[in-house]
Amino acid sequence: MIDIQHLHKTYGNAKKANDDITLQIYPGEIFGLLGPNGSGKSTLFKQMTGIIQPDYGDVILNGHSIVSDSLEAKKTFAFVSDTPDNFLQLKGIEYLNFVANIYQVPNKEKAQRIESTAREFGMYDDLGKQIASYSHGMRQKIMVIGALVVNPDIWILDEPMVGLDPRSAFNLKNKMREHADKDNIVIFSTHVLEVAEQIVDRLAIINKGHLVFVGTVDQLREMNHSDKSLEQIFLELTDTEGENPLSQEKLDAAQGV
C-alpha cells in the first residue's frame, strides 16, 4: 500500500508545488494521476520516490517511510521518470544489467526477464547499442524495461506512454494490468484522458498542488454531471486555478474514508 500523508513542498520562490496532499493507494490498483502542466504531478512523484525531500509529510510504501527508512522503501518500487535521457553513455544491455544489479535481481532471472521484456517491446536487437544512439521513444522503452526487469511490488511511472509506439503502449498497458492483478500497485501520470479512462481503477486530478478529485472514473462522472465528457470535466476541474478544489468531505467520500 502507498500511504501519502500530508505532503507539502514549496520551492524557493514560495510557489507551492504540493499543498497538504493526502492519498492512499491500495494493492491491486492501477492509479492514474492527471493534471495540467506544472500542476505538481512530477513533484509528487519525486517526493514519493525520494528524489526530493518533502517540507513536511511522509510517504509510506509497503510499510517503509521514504523519509526515515528510504533504503528499504526504495526496494519496494521502481520509478520511470518523465525524461528518459539518462545513462546515455551506456549500452541498453549495460543499463539493464546495472539496474538489475542495484536491485539485486538474481542472474538467472535477470537474463530471462530482460530477454522476454525487451522482445515484447521490440528492443532486444537494439540492446547492444549505446542509449545515446536511441530515439526518444527507444530511450523511454529502455527505462520502462528497466523498471519491469526489476519488477518490485510498486511501479511508479511518470508519463510512461510519451514517445511509445502504439504496440509498445498497448504492451505496457497490459503489463500494468497484469502487475496490478497480482495484488501489486501501479501508479502513473498521464495527459491522455483516454488512457486513464481505459485502464485506471481510480484516479486523482491535481491542480496547482491541490488534489481536486480522487476516485473512480464513474464517481468523477457522477459528481460532475454524467452527460459531460471526461475531457470537459477535466477542463472544468482544472480551470479553477486550484482555488476551489473539491471539499475534503467529497474527497474523503470518494476515497471511502
Partner 1 sequence: MTVSEKLKRIFMLARVMSKSDSTTRVVSSNKLFGQPEGSFGYKVIKAIINVFFILVMVGYSAVFGFAYMGATSDIRSFSQLVILALIVIVLLFGIYNVGIGMFYSQNLPSYLTMPITSTELISARILGFLKNTLMIGLMLIPAYFVASLMYGNGILWSLALCVMVLLSVVPIAMIALLITFFLIRFTPLGNSENIFKGVYGVVSTVLSIAMVYVIYSVVYSDQGLSSAVNVIPEGALEYFLAFVTPGYFLIPQISELATSNLGLALVYSLIFLVLCAIYLAIAVLVMRKSYLGIVNTVIAGGKLDDKKPEKIKEESSHFNLDDELKDRSQLASFIALDFNRFRRNPTLFQQFALAPILMPIFIMFVFYFSSKKLFNEELGISDYTQMGQALLTPEVILFASAMIVCFTFVIAFYVGSLGFSYSAFSIEGKSFSSFKSMPINFSTYFTAKIITCLILAVPVPLIMFVAGALYIGLSPLHLISFIVSFLLGSLGGVSIAMLFDVLMPKLDANNEQELRNRPLNFIIMVVLAGVMTFALMALGLILATNELPVYLILAIVLGVEAVLALISFVLLITLGKSKLLSIEI
- Cross-strand bridge partners of residue 214: 204
* Residue in the block written with cell 504540493: 18
Tell me how far, at minimum, the Cβ of 253 lies from partner 1, in Å.
Answer: 33
Count of other CB atoms within 10 angstroms of residue 195: 18
129 binds partner 1 (CB under 8 A): yes
Cα separation of 200 and 195, whole Å?
Answer: 8
- Write out the H or E segment, with its range, that includes residue 151: none
Minimum gap (Å) between residue 199 Cβ and partner 1: 23
**Rule CB under 8 A: is residue 135 a binding residue for partner 1?**
no
User: One-letter amino acid identity for 230?
Assistant: L
Cβ 35 to partner 1 shortest distance, Å: 20
Other beta carbons less than 10 A from residue 56's beta carbon: 12
CA–CA distance, 56 with 128 (Å, rounded to integer) = 44
Taking the least distance from each CB to partner 1, the nearer of 95 and 213 is 95
Compute the least distance from the CB of residue 103 to partner 1, in Å: 7
Residue 129 CA to residue 134 CA, distance in Å, equals 8
Q: Are 189 and 41 in contact (CB under 8 A)?
A: yes
> Could you tell me which stretch among 21-29, 121-129, 161-169, 225-233 binds partner 1 (CB under 8 A)?
121-129
> Could you tell me how many residues make up the chain?
257
d(CA 141, CA 150): 14
Residue nearer to partner 1 on the CB measure, 113 or 202:
113
115 binds partner 1 (CB under 8 A): yes
* DSSP category for residue 127: T
User: Could you say which of 15, 63, 98, 222 contacts partner 1 (CB under 8 A)?
Assistant: 98
Read off φ and ψ for residue 225, nearest 5 degrees. Answer: 65, 110
86 binds partner 1 (CB under 8 A): yes
User: Which CB sits closer to partner 1, 84 or 242?
Assistant: 84
Q: Does 38 participate in binding partner 1 (rule CB under 8 A)?
A: no
The smaller minimum CB distance to partner 1, of residues 124 and 201, is found at: 124
CA separation for the pair 85, 104 (Å, rounded): 24
Choices 125-133, 202-210, 211-219, 248-256 (CB under 8 A): range interacting with partner 1: 125-133
With binding defined as CB under 8 A, does residue 39 bind partner 1?
Answer: no
* Chain residues in the site for partner 1 (CB under 8 A): 12, 46, 49-53, 71-72, 74-75, 77, 79, 81, 83, 85-91, 93-94, 97-103, 106-107, 110-111, 114-115, 125-130, 132
